[in-house]
Structure 1
Amino acid sequence: MKKESGLKMFFRTTYQTGSPIPYILSIQIILFVLLHIADLLVDLGVISFPLYDWMLTNLTLPNTFSEFILRPWTLITYPFVYDGLFRIVFDCLWLYWMGTTFLNFLNKRQLLTVFFVSFFLSGLSFLALSQVEFLAKGPYSSLFSNSMGLASLVASIMVLVPNLEIRLFLFGTVRFRTIAIVFFSLEILFYLFANRAAAATFPIAILWGAIFMYQLQAGNDLSKWFVFQRKKKLRVVHPVKKVPTYRSYKGDLPNQEVIDEILDKISQNGYESLSSREKEILFRISREEQE
């Protein structure tokens, strides 16, 4: 038996599990590497064009509608952009952990709905809140990273299984609700210093994750909004009237198909529409049941 190569095994165990998480993580990591390769090329003087700054400008979500209109694709690209190593490592680990926990209870369509819808809601909310002068202040003027999606995932899990217990190194067994509250607090605190508009947007992402889960528990799966079914072409079918075939019997009843056809005929046209043979069958059935 031919031994499987390490690279082939890696791709099989990583990308053929049916989970969308490895694909999301791969996009984030590849984009992070490309950004810093561009930065390195500029620092080494290989290129004079500020490629790193150009990529950040065109991939992160701006804080004004006038700039957003010129770069509308940033509403889709901003969650995958990272400029710091610590930040991307932290978020990748959290996404893997939270995504895996979510998929232990629900399916990948629901995960993608919670995760990606939060980006659209948070992005549009960030654009609106950035117009408030007080919130527009901060060292970062644009929005990037998948923190909003993580917030929605954590909130949805907290609503679904608030008393879920997780064993943490050095801390022992901790309830998931406690972990979620600590995560939300740290993220909001970070954004308060870095990007006030993002800090004001963060609770909206939390609210979306909670609403999705409350609706799901009430029997309303919001992820079904994104299930598209092909319209089937109408086909004209000309019904062929089937003539009942009666089985000869002596002492035994006719088959159930014949009985059903007779009863259908009575419901549509009345008892008088039956033939003498059909009336005889009904009479025989009633006598057999009485006996």
Structure 2
Amino acid sequence: MNKSFIEDLKYRVFQSGNPVYFYIGINVLLFLVVAFLGIPFFLSGVGSVNFPAFIREYLGYPASIAKLPLRFYTVITYQFFHDGFLHLLFNMLWLYWMGKIFLDFLKPRQFHFVYLGGGIAGAAMYTLAYNIFPVFAGSVAEATVIGSSAAVMAVIVATATLVPDYSIRMLLLGDVKLKYLAMAYIAMELIGLASANAGGSFTHIGGALFGFAYIKVLHKGRDWSQLFKRKPKLRVVRNEPSKSAPKSTASSVNQHEIDAILDKISKSGYDKLSKDEKETLFKASKH
């Protein structure tokens, strides 16, 4: 394989700072590792060792509250393992498409928060569903969930809530606004609550609710992702003439302008922005 291709891939995933490439890379890498490690177990013919089941048991998120004290780490690990190639493929495609739009308007730190927070919220919804609804009473002790679907759902709904009238072109359907796409996705999950994968649907809905809540709170001026923000180190500086004052003022004016543009998007949609407003928002997303 071409060395430059490997180096470029390594840069995109681990060094570019783009969280979309990072999460896609980690999910794909872990899928390949599990797939290759499972080959010798399968070929050995040892029936007592089911490697996929082993991975799901110890890295998937359990429905049983009694297992959580020893499997607490699974609230994160379950978000990075998948039950088959198609499960991985569709999650990564949606993550790529919606993640690129998300990062056109918001920061990588906010993407990290929505992805991981959506996965955690999905796990919490999964636990609640299995321990509340009688239909799950017979399977709660053994049930587990794996996959990045809740995290991806959080990104999809967060993006659709931020820019509901932003359109993407879909095969056979043409241009579709994100708000309709998200509503269709959620409707499918609600229907899925009466299916064999009801637990997975509850997980996805938990992620969707988190993505929606994050953007709604962000519109009100509160950014939950500040939890991920590094605190600046204190340093002693000399008193200088007030050259920097105009720069600070300009920065605050720019932030006020960005907030006003985001408010306009939430009320009227992305398509209603002027060319200058779109340019301002695009430049701001790169900082």
TM-score (norm 1): 0.71
Deviation at 1:73, TM superposition (A): 1.1
The 1:203–1:43 alpha-carbon spacing in structure 2 relative to 1, beyond 3 Å, is closer
- Find the counterpart in structure 1 of residue 195 from structure 2: 193
- Find the counterpart in structure 2 of residue 219 from structure 1: 221
Query: What amino acid sits opposite 1:86 in the alignment?
Result: L
Cα separation, 2, equivalents of 1:231 and 1:9: 33
Aligned positions of 1:1-16 closer than 5 A: 5-13=4-12, 15-16=14-15
Query: What amino acid sits opposite 1:65 in the alignment?
Result: I
Cα separation, 2, equivalents of 1:77 and 1:155: 22
Query: What amino acid sits opposite 1:42 in the alignment?
Result: F
- Find the counterpart in structure 2 of residue 37 from structure 1: 36
Aligned residues: 234
Deviation at 1:109, TM superposition (A): 0.6
User: Deviations for 1:47-74, whole angstroms, at most 9, x for unmatched residues?
Assistant: 6643332222100011101122221111
Cα separation, 2, equivalents of 1:179 and 1:196: 21
Conserved? CA contact 2:167–2:176, under 8 Å? yes
Conserved? CA contact 1:135–1:197, under 8 Å? no
Bigger helix fraction: 2
- Find the counterpart in structure 2 of residue 21 from structure 1: 20
The yes-or-no answer on 1:74 pairing with 2:82 is no
- Which stretch shows the higher mean deviation, 112-121 or 140-149? 140-149
Conserved? CA contact 1:38–1:52, under 8 Å? no
- Which stretch shows the higher mean deviation, 8-17 or 200-209? 8-17
Conserved? CA contact 1:138–1:193, under 8 Å? no
- Find the counterpart in structure 2 of residue 158 from structure 1: 160
- Find the counterpart in structure 2 of residue 168 from structure 1: 170
Deviation at 1:79, TM superposition (A): 0.7
The 1:224–1:43 alpha-carbon spacing in structure 2 relative to 1, beyond 3 Å, is same
Cα separation, 2, equivalents of 1:211 and 1:5: 42
Deviation at 1:194, TM superposition (A): 3.2
Cα separation, 2, equivalents of 1:35 and 1:135: 32
User: Deviations for 1:101-120, whole angstroms, at most 9, x for unmatched residues?
Assistant: 10011111111111111222
Query: What amino acid sits opposite 1:17 in the alignment?
Result: S
- Find the counterpart in structure 2 of residue 120 from structure 1: 120
Query: What amino acid sits opposite 1:60 in the alignment?
Result: G
Structure 1 stretches (4+) deviating beyond 6 angstroms?
Answer: 137-140
Aligned positions of 1:49-128 closer than 5 A: 49-128=49-128
Deviation at 1:16, TM superposition (A): 4.0
Conserved? CA contact 2:12–2:18, under 8 Å? no
- Find the counterpart in structure 2 of residue 281 from structure 1: none
Partner SS state of residue 176, structure 2 = strand
Conserved? CA contact 2:24–2:92, under 8 Å? yes
Partner SS state of residue 228, structure 1 = coil
User: Deviations for 1:176-206, whole angstroms, at most 9, x for unmatched residues?
Assistant: 1111122223344445423334433433322
Deviation at 1:125, TM superposition (A): 2.8
Larger Rg: 1
Conserved? CA contact 1:163–1:175, under 8 Å? yes
Partner SS state of residue 104, structure 1 = helix
Partner SS state of residue 5, structure 1 = helix
Query: What amino acid sits opposite 2:33 in the alignment?
Result: L
Deviation at 1:13, TM superposition (A): 4.9
Partner SS state of residue 162, structure 1 = coil
Cα separation, 2, equivalents of 1:31 and 1:164: 33
Cα separation, 2, equivalents of 1:22 and 1:232: 33
Conserved? CA contact 2:122–2:202, under 8 Å? no
Deviation at 1:92, TM superposition (A): 0.7
Query: Structure 1: any 5+ residue segments left out of the alignment?
Result: 238-291
- Match among 205, 208, 229 for residue 207 of structure 2: 205
Cα separation, 2, equivalents of 1:42 and 1:19: 36
- Find the counterpart in structure 2 of residue 276 from structure 1: none
The 1:152–1:225 alpha-carbon spacing in structure 2 relative to 1, beyond 3 Å, is same
Conserved? CA contact 1:137–1:195, under 8 Å? no
Query: Structure 2: any 5+ residue segments left out of the alignment?
Result: 239-287
Cα separation, 2, equivalents of 1:218 and 1:125: 25
The 1:163–1:137 alpha-carbon spacing in structure 2 relative to 1, beyond 3 Å, is farther
- Which stretch shows the higher mean deviation, 25-34 or 97-106? 25-34
Partner SS state of residue 122, structure 2 = helix
Conserved? CA contact 1:75–1:119, under 8 Å? yes
